[in-house]
Amino acid sequence: MAKAIKTLITAVLSSVLVVTIFIHIASALDISITGVSYKTTSINTSIATIKAFAGGDCSIGGGGSGSGGAATLSVNISASTPSAEISTNDAGNGNHIQVVCGYDTWSLTEEINSGSTTNLVGITNSTIGFTPWTSGSTVSTFTNKTWGMKYTEVTPQAGNAVTATSYHAVPAYGSPLTIASGIATSGYKIQQTFGAKTDGSVRADTYRTTVLYTLTGINIPSPFSCAPNGYYNGSTWTQYNGVDHGHIGIMQNVTSANTADWNIGDYATVTDIRNDQDYVICKLADENIWMLNNLKLGSTTEDTLLTPADTNITSNWNLPQLVTSGFAGNDVPKAYGPIPGSTDNIADETFYGFLYNWCAATAGGTASGGSNTCTAYSVMPDDATGDICPANWRLPTGGPTGEFAWLYAKMDNPSATSPSTDTVYIYGLNWRFTGPWRGVGAGRHNGSSFYMQGGSSTWWSSSHYPGYSTSVYVFLDGYYHRGFGFSVRCLVK
């Protein structure tokens, strides 16, 4: 059967905020930062869908309400106090920079504006009064006749961070420095702090330069019937030229041998013969072939007979009938479904599959000829040797050196030489529906009800957690109680 493919385009949107730095030397030294203007550049919306977010698509302003406008700061420096700093405060000292960006990710850079210099030059005498910061953690310890900037996160938001928190020299035009970055935000505030020091030898004049702030928003391409063939390394999207192999037949016939010539990003659609369910599979950055949909196996009316011919087990086993409630504990298999809000189209972000406790995900353990995974609460289980994945497929290994950790590392950096233990996944664009993992918000089942649907997913590994007899390594939450209902994704053996 043919599968429709849509072309993917990366959308980039930039906004700029121009801030002029003034130092006036007379009987006292007045320092001011004035926000001059900001604008939003346009993009071709015919090739990309811009994500609407409260306050606009992607804009930067100097207004506390997000409307932009000027921010003026002043401070006096006398002979006895030759150094000074001033910070925005959304009140008398001017407005903080505010980022409004509905894109998947954004970055904010600073550089000297085109036509200006890194030095503060006198308006009247055209001499250099202040050179870029060279040393000193506080303005009082600055090198004489230097100036610098630093930034502070005002409104902490998960996934967003200011990186230029120490005094530094603002780079020349054409060499921008990233001062903050993050994910979609409705109003992320950043405090500007300007510092300068003089030794009294600077002539009376007004010295100035202009700093350019550029906000860039990036949308990761939306998936088609496969995930995007690329990865996001924290600042840029790299696109793979993956090949669509179309519908290649029965899932149980896919092996590492007959996909050995696939390149990273190659994908196809397959059919699980146990219930004629289609799935998308793809060769991801770790060079394994993975399911890009959650497993949807089970019946609402009866048990499902699984055999070694179609499932990764060595003896026949019955997957229990799907239920919507009821806690089975650790030693009784349980399958939960349908999941509220789930749809049937594998190209949808709401194709959730079904949820299984670990005993069910590992096909009843010894009941299907596998290892002892369905143990009592106080008995440490074995790692799984069998599971409900199709024949020639299996659950991935977990833990700090497992296949999930390696995939995480390779997704972030294809040249990674060690696995990643970072589990703060919700902010990782590679793991969202718009990333190569094509994650969906299937949520979980706590034994009494479904919850967290539309928000997140957790996937079982084959590895028990050695610290607690009740727990198993999961992705991406580290480890969790094996009696809960989580999602299953498999990889080719």
Residue 222 — very low, low, confident or very high, per pLDDT cuts 50/70/90? very low
Tokens of 346: 């594998």
CB-CB contact of 311 with 388 (8 Å): yes
Q: What is the pLDDT of residue 220?
A: 52
Does 297 score more than 90 pLDDT?
yes
Q: Rounded to whole angstroms, how far apart are CA atoms 443 and 447? A: 13
Does 69 score more than 50 pLDDT?
no
Maximum average pLDDT range among 62-66, 97-101, 423-427: 97-101
Run of H or E including 210: strand 205-219
Q: Rounded to whole angstroms, how far apart are CA atoms 453 and 430? A: 19
Does 307 score more than 60 pLDDT?
yes
Q: What is the pLDDT of residue 305?
A: 97
Tokens of 325: 């409630």
Residue 150 — very low, low, confident or very high, per pLDDT cuts 50/70/90? very high
Q: Rounded to whole angstroms, how far apart are CA atoms 396 and 473? A: 10
Run of H or E including 161: strand 161-162
Does 324 score more than 90 pLDDT?
yes
User: For 252-272, what is each residue's pLDDT tens digit?
Assistant: 999 999 999 998 888 888 999
Cβ atoms within 10 Å, residue 78: 10
Residue type, 153: E
- Map tokens 């590392």 to a residue: 409
Does 221 score more than 60 pLDDT?
no
Q: Rounded to whole angstroms, how far apart are CA atoms 437 and 230? A: 10
3-state secondary structure of 431: helix
Maximum average pLDDT range among 98-107, 232-241, 270-279: 270-279
Tokens of 138: 């506080």
User: Number of C-alpha atoms within 13 angstroms, CB side, residue 59?
Assistant: 20
* Percentage of the chain lying above the pLDDT 90 cut: 41
Length of the chain measured in residues: 493
User: For 364-390, what is each residue's pLDDT tens digit?
Assistant: 999 999 999 999 988 999 999 999 999
The separation between CA 405 and the C-alpha centre of its own chain, rounded to angstroms, equals 16
Residue 55 — very low, low, confident or very high, per pLDDT cuts 50/70/90? very low
In DSSP terms, which residues pair with 342 in a beta bridge?
none
CB-CB contact of 442 with 485 (8 Å): no
3-state secondary structure of 429: helix
Does 352 score more than 70 pLDDT?
yes
Expressed in angstroms, the distance from the first to the final Cα of the chain is 25
Q: Rounded to whole angstroms, how far apart are CA atoms 371 and 384? A: 6
Tokens of 19: 């801030």
User: For 181-211, what is each residue's pLDDT tens digit?
Assistant: 888 787 889 998 888 888 767 777 777 788 8
DSSP codes joined into one string, 283-305: E-TTS-EEESS------SSS-EE
Maximum average pLDDT range among 53-67, 124-138, 318-332, 354-368: 354-368
Look at residues 374, 191, 395, 390 and name the one whose alpha carbon lies nearest to residue 288: 395
Average pLDDT over residues 123-148: 88
Residue 51 — very low, low, confident or very high, per pLDDT cuts 50/70/90? very low
Maximum average pLDDT range among 36-40, 233-237, 317-321: 317-321
User: For 480-493, what is each residue's pLDDT tens digit?
Assistant: 889 999 999 999 99
Look at residues 299, 295, 465 and name the one whose alpha carbon lies nearest to residue 373: 465
Q: Rounded to whole angstroms, how far apart are CA atoms 405 and 415? A: 14
Average pLDDT of the chain is 78
User: For 378-422, what is each residue's pLDDT tens digit?
Assistant: 899 999 999 999 999 999 999 888 998 898 888 777 788 888 765
